[in-house]
Amino acid sequence: MRRAQGCLVLTLLMLLVLSAGCIPSSESNICKRCLREIVPDDWRDVVCQEIVTDEECIVFYRTGDSSERSIDAVAYRLIWDRYPHVSNKTPSFVAYDLDMPYGYMCQCECKAERANLLSAYQGDELIIRDKREDEWIRLHAYRWITETKKYQILAYFDGDRIAWETDQVTVDNYTLSGAGLVFRCIYSLRDGASPSNEEMTSAEGELVFPDGLPDDVLTSPYPEVIVLAFYSHVPYADTTAIQGYFADDAWQSVGKCEDEKCGCPTQSSPIAQVRVTNMDIAESRQVISPTTQYCPPDDAIAAATNRAFVTTKAVCEYENGSGEQITVTWPLEWKESGWRLQGTPIQSGE
């Protein structure tokens, strides 16, 4: 890795710049025309991305012979007159290291750009993302510090799917159950905090359907799909849809989810939403945990082949801003074409 300190490419670069005619212009790509000539011999699959507005270039590369190796990166900045006794008639490049908390920058395909991720700072940050197939799976954010002549890493994220907007990053991780659910964390800056990873907090974390409520909820072979779909309808405004999730007269047995019969404590303030944070599924065919890699105890597994129990941890959030955590176990039964809720959930400790 080429180090930032003392990595001033002086005489060699000056000769290269002069001989190659690398004079900056709106149409020339200095990065491709010059930097490829000076990268070490053991760098493979070198890709240069020039950030024209800041006269900086990010070089991505692999080391060694294997194309399976991960991708590293180094930043080059174009300078003119920062150092004494250096001619300002032609540009020079300086290489700077980029902190990579995961040990490397990307796994698949790197892209660098300038964008406004953090409004706490003036100007855009250097954003480097990793793309796998059609999904962004990693994000690093950097800020150039003129006084120290270094790149400061501000935030970094890793997941199965990452989306971002100013002051907010959404990270999805696929669960292990095969039900097509994701655990979604939405990260945002705390008020008054500087934007570092330690001070960024997960404002929300929950199990969700990645692309909205699917059409085949009632025929899904996964009991956790019914439970998550049910909670997505809270505050129970659409009673017609919710009633279809219950078997036979079970909807009447839960009293239309009044008086805490669906898990959330009754308050003077109406329920705004329920965030499901974890589900352990016990059924006669399988014992799985969608968000963790340990298996739940088997004492809840039903003997019959058409029964299941879904132990759900959730946060009931109310319109007045308060919230309360619950842990309940929902009994379900397979009815002809899909799972159905059997009635009032069992509260934790009962």
**Predicted local distance difference test score (pLDDT) of residue 302:** 34
- Torsion angle defined by CA atoms of residues 77, 82, 84 and 89, in that order, rounded to the nearest 10 degrees: 70
- Torsion angle defined by CA atoms of residues 136, 141, 142 and 143, in that order, rounded to the nearest 10 degrees: 130
The closest alpha carbon to 182, from 200, 207, 160, 157, belongs to 207
The closest alpha carbon to 121, from 145, 98, 97, belongs to 145
Asked if the model's pLDDT at residue 23 lies above 70, the reply is no
- Number of C-alpha atoms within 13 angstroms, CB side, residue 184? 20
Mean pLDDT for all residues in the chain: 77
Predicted confidence (pLDDT) per residue in 180-229, tens digit: 899 998 887 655 555 555 555 556 789 999 988 888 899 998 999 999 99
Tokens describing residue 1 = 């890795």
| Residues carrying CATH 3.10.450.100, the chain | 217-347
Predicted confidence (pLDDT) per residue in 244-275, tens digit: 888 888 888 887 777 778 888 888 888 888 99
- Look up the CATH superfamily of 217-347: NTF2-like; domain 1 (3.10.450.100)
